[in-house]
Amino acid sequence: MSFSEEGQEPLAGCTSGESDEEREAVRATAQVDQRRIANAVREILLAVGEDPDREGLCETPDRVARMYAELFGGLHEEPRRHLRKFFTEKYDEIVLVRDISFNSMCEHHLLPFMGKAHIGYLPNGRVLGLSKLARVVESVARRPQVQERMTETIADLLIEQLHAKGVAVVVEAVHTCMTIRGIRKPGSVCVTSAMKGIFRKSLSSRAEIMTLIYGGRH
């Protein structure tokens, strides 16, 4: 096995020191104008007929501002940076990471949608540390988002950075804008997929990856 750049992460490990990840998250969060959010939240509270100065609410605008800075911090991150360190490895079978949980924010209602992403790829000499896939999901999710674009973006990033023979991304999510308002359908799950390369071209490869994702379940 050889490492590209200073990649030191074990292939099947998610444990290497992530302090530069934390620093990056802090930097990204600091890019969000929290004062402006707090002012806007105060306006919303006034608009719905609340008293933003009563005890229970007086710290809410600042609290919501910090929360939005965290939830939208991905806007100020470059998800590609997680894909620059890869291993050169003669492994030519499918790599799949299932059940990567994420939270994102629907850009139509600013309500959360949350679920799981399954990411599989067929390497072409470049193999990624497994935790990096989760990092990419996290980075792409933490911005105003729609599930379809999120799915496509993750697949495009992987094919572009890994030159993989194929990439398959399946995302399943519950959208609170469908469960708590509007048509109120609790339990409904939205599934999106993006198939690239061999998983797009070959029915049997697509069937194989879908079996790996869903095999033994349902």
Does the annotation mark 177 as catalytic? yes
Closest to Zn ion by CB, 106 or 119: 106
Sheet architecture: strand order including 95-106: 144-145, 95-106, 111-122, 166-175, 190-197
Q: Which residues pair with 128 in a beta bridge?
A: 86
d(CA 218, CA 118): 16
Q: How far apart are CA 151 and CA 191, in angstroms?
A: 10
Question: Of the listed pieces 71-79, 107-115, 116-124, 191-199, which binds Zn ion according to CB under 5 A?
Answer: 107-115
**Nearest approach, Cβ of 187 to Zn ion (angstroms)?**
16
Of the candidates 43, 59, 78, 107, the residue annotated as catalytic is 107
Nearer to Zn ion by Cβ, of 119 and 173: the residue is 173
How many residues belong to the chain? 218
Annotated catalytic residue, options 77, 106, 138, 152: 106
Does residue 21 have an active-site annotation? no
Helix ranges (DSSP H) in the chain:
19-30, 34-47, 60-71, 130-141, 147-162, 176-179, 198-201, 203-214
Q: Nearest to Zn ion by Cβ — which residue?
A: 177
Among 106, 119, 158, 162, binds Zn ion (CB under 5 A): 106
Whichever of 108 and 163 has its CB closer to Zn ion, that residue is: 108
Amino acid identity of residue 159, one-letter, is I
Q: Which is nearer to Zn ion, 26 or 44 (CB)?
A: 44
Taking the least distance from each CB to Zn ion, the nearer of 63 and 181 is 181
Size of the site for Zn ion (CB under 5 A): 4
Judged by CB under 5 A, the residue of 35, 80, 84, 108 near Zn ion is: 108
Q: Is 177 in the site for Zn ion (CB under 5 A)?
A: yes
Residues 50 and 57: their CA atoms lie apart, in Å, by 9
| C-beta separation of 175 from 190 below 8 A | yes
Q: Is residue 149 part of the contact set for Zn ion (CB under 5 A)?
A: no
CB of 107 to Zn ion, least distance (A): 8
Cβ burial 76-99 (10 Å sphere, 16+ → b, else e): bbebebbbebbbeeeeeebbebee
Catalytic residue among 21, 34, 50, 109: 109
109 binds Zn ion (CB under 5 A): yes
Binding site for Zn ion (CB under 5 A): 106, 108-109, 177
